[in-house]
Amino acid sequence: MSVADRLVVCASHSPGMMRDVEHVLGRSFRSGLEQVRGMVEEFDPDVIVLFGGDHRRTFRQVVPSFAVALSAGIMAEAGREAGELRVPADRARALADHLLGSGFDITVCRDIELDHAFAQPLHDLTAGLGVYPVIPVAINCATAPLPRPERVLEFGAEVGRFLDGIGDRVLVIGTGGLSHSPPSLEVDTHDMSDAERARIIAAGYAAAEQKIKPEWDKAFLDALSSWDATSLTELATVAHEQAGAGANEVRTWLAAGAAGGGKPFECIAYEPVQKWITGMGVAVSGR
Q: What is the DSSP string of 138-152?
A: EE--SSSSPPPHHHH
How many CA atoms lie within 13 Å of 183's alpha carbon, on the beta-carbon side? 16
- pLDDT in the model for residue 133: 98
Measured from the Cβ of residue 211, the count of other Cβ atoms closer than 10 Å reads 22
pLDDT of 76 higher than 70: yes
Using an 8 Å Cβ cutoff, are 170 and 49 in contact?
A: yes
pLDDT of 140 higher than 50: yes
How much is the average pLDDT of 223-228? 98
The closest alpha carbon to 179, from 119, 242, 233, 255, belongs to 242
Question: pLDDT tens digits, residue range 106-120?
Answer: 999 999 999 899 999
CATH number assigned to the domain covering 3-285: 3.40.830.10
How much is the average pLDDT of 99-104? 98
- pLDDT in the model for residue 14: 94
Using an 8 Å Cβ cutoff, are 184 and 192 in contact?
A: yes
Question: pLDDT tens digits, residue range 24-70?
Answer: 999 999 999 999 999 999 999 999 999 999 887 778 788 999 999 99
How much is the average pLDDT of 243-259? 97
- Whether 190 is catalytic is no
Tell me the three state secondary structure of residue 202: helix
Crossing angle, helix 27-43 and helix 116-125, to 10 degrees?
A: 70
How much is the average pLDDT of 4-10? 91
Question: pLDDT tens digits, residue range 154-180?
Answer: 999 999 999 999 999 999 999 999 999
Q: How confident is the model at residue 1 (pLDDT cuts 50, 70, 90)?
A: very low
- Whether 98 is catalytic is no
Using an 8 Å Cβ cutoff, are 117 and 55 in contact?
A: yes
The catalytic residue among 13, 55, 98, 180 is 180
How distant is the alpha carbon of residue 48 from its chain centre?
13
Query: What is d(CA 268, CA 219) in angstroms, rounded to the nearest whole number?
Result: 15
The closest alpha carbon to 135, from 67, 167, 88, belongs to 88
The catalytic residue among 55, 116, 123, 190 is 116
Any idea of the CA torsion for 72, 76, 82, 86, to the nearest 10 degrees?
-30
Question: Which amino acid, 94?
Answer: A
